Chain A
Amino acid sequence: MSKTIIEMKNVSFQYEYTQVLNNISFKVNEGDFLAILGPNGSGKSTLLKILLGLLKPLAGEIKLFGQPNDTFRHREWIGYVSQKSNAFNSGFPATVEEVVKSGLAKKVGLFKRMPNDAAKQVQDALKAVGMESFRGKNIGELSGGQQQRVFIARALIAKPKVLVLDEPTVGIDHENVQSFYDMLVSLNKEQNITIILVTHDVDTVSNRISHVACLNQTIHFHGYKQEFDEISQEQLDKWQGHAVRKIH
C-alpha cells in the first residue's frame, strides 16, 4: 500500500459571493497519475492554488505529506507548472539555462549561493524533458510546447515528489500534446513522481492516467481509471453540466 501524500478534508472556497469549491475531500497516494477533469469554472485551478498554498481555503483541512498545509515547509517537494498563457512575459530576457536553474532557488535556500554543480543539474533536468540542445536559447525564442517542457525541467530540477500541472497543453498543437503526455508518463513510471494534472483534454489523457477525479464545485467521482470507464455517459454529462466525450 503506497502512502498518502496529499489529503483534503471538507475543503470549501468562495470568491466574495460565489461558491467555487464545496466540501471537497480526496486523497492522492504516492505514484498516482491523477487527472482532475471538469468544465470551465468548475474550480479546477482554484483547487490547485489551494493545494499549492497560493489561496487559503474558507473551511476544511489540507495535509501535505502528513503535515497541515499552514506549517508545511517543504514546498520544493511539490513542483508546479502553470498554464502557459499566464505564466510569464515571453519577452523576458533569460536563457533556458537561467530559467531552469531558477527552479533551485527555494531548495538552495535564502542567503545561500547556487551549488557548484548547478550547471550539471540543469543539464540533467533538460535531458529528462528532451530539451538539452536548447539550453543557450532565450526562452522567448521557443515554441509553446518547448517552453512548457522547460518549465517542467524547472520544476524537476528541485527533485520534487509531486508534479502539479494546470492545463499544461493549452495552446500546444495536437502532435506535441501526445509526446508531452508520453513524457509525463515516463516521469511517473521511471522516476516515481506523483502527477496531478488539471485538464479538459479527456481524450488524450484517458489511456495514460491511473486515477480520475471529476470536479464541478464538488468532487463527483474520484477513483481508478477503470472505475471511471464504467460510469455512464449520461451520469458524466450531468456532473459536468455539458457533454464530455469518453474514449475507451
Chain B
Amino acid sequence: MIEAILQYEFLQNAFFSGLIIGVIAPLLGVFIVVRRMSLIADALSHVTLAGIAGSLYLSQTFTMFSLLNPIYLGIVASVSGSILIERLRTLYKHYEELAIPIIMSGGIGLSAIFISLASGFNTDIMSYLFGSVSAVSRQDLWVVVAIAFVVFLFLFTFFKEMFVLSFDEEFAKASGLPAKSIHLLFMVVVALVIAASMRIVGILLVSSLITLPVAASMRVAKGFKQTILFSILFGEAAVLIGLVSAFYLNLAPGGTIVVTSIVILLIVILGKKLALKIKAERV
C-alpha cells in the first residue's frame, strides 16, 4: 500500500485527509458529546448535503460553474445551518431539540430537490453520501488542511473558555465570559469539520467519527484532557485500519472506518467490563 500511496496522487489525498480528519473530528467531538449536541452534527451533515447537491446541480446546468468544487457550497450550507440552528434554539427556548429535525428535514428536502433537478443520483452524489477514496482531490486535501488549522487555532485560543462553557454554561455566563459569542464560533467550527469530514466518510457517516471515538474514550479516560487524547487515538486508529482494509479488500472507506470505530468501541466496553470483573474478584 505504501508503494501505491507514493505512486498515486489520489491515494495520498485520501490518506492524508483521513489522517487529519481522524484528529480533528474526535477532538471537536469531545466538546460536542459532552455538551449533548451529537444530533446537531447529524443535522448539519444533512444540510451540507443540500449545499453539495446544489453545487452539483449548478455545475451541470451552468457552464460557468462546471469546475466549482462542491465542497465550498457544502461549507456554506453547513455554516449557515449551524447559525440557523442557534437562531431556532433561542426561538424555541423550551424545545431546543426541535431545531434539529427542522434543520435536518430542511436539508434533506433541499437535497432531494437539487438531486432530482440534477437528473437523479449519479456516482458523484454517491461518493458524497458514503465517502470515497478515489474522489478526494488535491484541492479537497488543502481545504481539509485549512479547516484543521482553523480548529486548532480555535481550541488553542478558547480552550479554557470552551471547558467552562461545556461543563457548566450558567457558571460561564455568571462569571462574565462571552458565552454566546464563543458558542456561536464553536458551532461554525463544528460546521467546518463536518464539511471537511464528509469527503472521506460521507455525509451519512460523518457524525460517527465525531461521536464513536469519544464514546469509547469516555469509558476508559480519567479527566478531560485524557478523554481528548484517547478520542484522538481511537479516531486515528479507526481511520488508519479502515482505510488500509478498504484499500486491500476494495470496500467503501467510509463504511470500513465506521465499522472499525464500532469494533473499537465494543472492544473498549468489553475490556472495561472484564477489567472491572477481574478487579472485583481480586478484592
Contact = CB atoms under 8 A, between A and B. Distances in A.
Contacts of A138: 222-223
A201 B17 CA distance: 58
B178 A110 contact: yes
B171 interface: yes
A88 interface: yes
B174 A80 contact: yes
B163 A102 contact: yes
Interface string B202-219: 000000000000000110
A99 B225 CA distance: 12
B152 interface: no
A54 B167 contact: no
Contacts of A87: 168, 170-171
Contact of A75 (B34, B175, B227): B175
A106 B160 CA distance: 9
A86 to B, nearest CB: 8
A76 B166 CA distance: 19
Given A93-B218, A98-B163, A105 B178 contact: no
Q: How many interface residues does chain A have, given as a range?
A: 35 or more
Nearest to A113: B160
Contacts of A8: none
Given A89-B36, A111-B157, A138-B223, A94 B167 contact: yes
B34 A89 contact: yes
Nearest to A114: B160
Q: Which of B161, B175, B176, B224 has the most CB of A within 10 A?
A: B175
Interface string A75-87: 1101010100011
Nearest to A98: B224
A52 interface: yes
A80 B175 contact: yes
B221 interface: yes
Contact of B224 (A94, A111, A158): A94
Interface string B224-253: 111100000000000000000000000000
Q: Which of A76, A93, A138 has the most CB of B within 10 A?
A: A93
B164 interface: yes
B91 interface: no
Interface string A53-81: 11000000000000000000111101010
Contacts of B222: 93, 95, 136, 138
Contacts of B164: 102, 105
18 contacts: A52-B173, A54-B170, A75-B174, A76-B175, A80-B174, A80-B175, A82-B170, A86-B170, A88-B167, A88-B168, A91-B218, A92-B167, A93-B34, A93-B217, A93-B221, A93-B227, A97-B223, A105-B164
Interface of B: 34, 36, 157-158, 160-161, 163-164, 166-168, 170-178, 217-218, 221-227
